[in-house]
Amino acid sequence: MKEITDETFDADVLQSTTPVLIDFWAEWCGPCKQIAPALEEIAGEMGDKVIIAKVNIDDNPQTPSKYGVRGIPTLMMFKNGQPAAVKIGALPKNKLQEWIESSI
């Protein structure tokens, strides 16, 4: 999974022609660590259909603030440079995959 920063967000997410799923997370967040392996697996399985990336909210405070992220993990799907869907909280892998597939 790709690490996105405040500096790379525009180029990596907003200008992407492929849908991008951003996982807003933090090192101290237990549920964030719970879903990380599932997101990694989904990233491998879905290949070119969606880019799955992470934004560490502690290291990159501007982006989560801009998009109103108040709780983590927050998963935000971007399509054509716009937020298209949001899911807050940890989910099992099958539910994550269903949500991602319905959002892209």
Catalytic status, residue 29: yes
Catalytic residue among 4, 13, 21, 32: 32
Let me know: does 69 contact 24? Beta carbons within 8 Å.
Answer: yes
d(CA 66, CA 46): 28
Active site residue 32: yes
Q: Which of 20, 21, 22, 29 is catalytic?
A: 29
Burial class (CB in 10 A: 0-12, 13-18, 19+), 41: middle
Q: Residues with catalytic annotation?
A: 29, 32
